[in-house]
Amino acid sequence: MQGNFSLHHDVFSRLGIDSIPIKVQSDLDLIDGLVIPGGESTTMSLLINTFRLREPIINFGKDHPVMGTCAGLILMAKEVQDKRVQSFGFLDISVERNAYGRQIKSSTEKVLYHFGLNKKVELKTTLIRAPKISNVGEGIHILGEFDGSPVAVLSGHYLGLSFHPELNNIDIFHQVLFDPNCEYYYKNLKQTYAA
């Protein structure tokens, strides 16, 4: 409904995975997984309520993979310091909006990510008025950190990123959550984390 969704469609098309925009409740019946993109979390929160998508998305998320980037991560958090955002609570984390500074302080950093035990990869990490993950609860696996805070967290079938992988043509996070043929698919990683 809002935000940077179109580049996520490009990632899916590179991966050979069909994707559609989600605007009304019945759209959720057509998909196997959801991306909540970057954008403006207060606006998204309002639109989600206006279009009566809150309960349907919470129910969808119970048994389908959901990935949130930036504003999407804010919407997935259990605790958001800004009460204008009504989040879904999928990830047991606390987030502070805009905690890396203003738009002009947006930056692209290099961060080392861990996908299970076997794969470490340094990736461009573009933070745009990004949320900071200030606290993580149990069952949250940190895939990467920048400046002392997690920027990528995985918990079961939920993946939250403070940054925008789609801006740097990074596909691996979408593969982790949505590509069962990928070695780093979350169900395969789960065994690694459990071990």
Residues that bind ligand GLN (CB under 6 A): 38-41, 70-71, 74, 97-98, 128-129
Q: 41 vs 155, which CB is nearer to ligand GLN?
A: 41
Least distance between ligand GLN and beta carbon 41 (Å): 3
Least distance between ligand GLN and beta carbon 63 (Å): 26
With contact defined as beta carbons under 8 Å apart, do 155 and 120 qualify?
no
With contact defined as beta carbons under 8 Å apart, do 39 and 74 qualify?
no
Q: Are strands 66-69 and 34-36 parallel, antiparallel or unpaired?
A: parallel
Q: Which residues face 141 on adjacent strands?
A: 154
**Catalytic: which of 8, 157, 164, 174?**
164
Least distance between ligand GLN and beta carbon 12 (Å): 19
**Catalytic: which of 8, 166, 174, 182?**
166
Least distance between ligand GLN and beta carbon 105 (Å): 12
**Active site annotation includes 182:** no
Question: Three-state SS for 185?
Answer: coil
Q: Map tokens 């596909």 to a residue.
A: 171
Computed from CA positions of residues 55, 60, 63, 64, in that sequence, does the dihedral angle turn out positive or negative?
negative
Q: For residue 39, what are its two tokens?
A: 């954008």
**Catalytic: which of 70, 141, 157, 182?**
70
Q: 72 vs 116, which CB is nearer to ligand GLN?
A: 72
**Active site annotation includes 40:** no
**Active site annotation includes 109:** no
Catalytic positions, written as ranges: 70, 164, 166
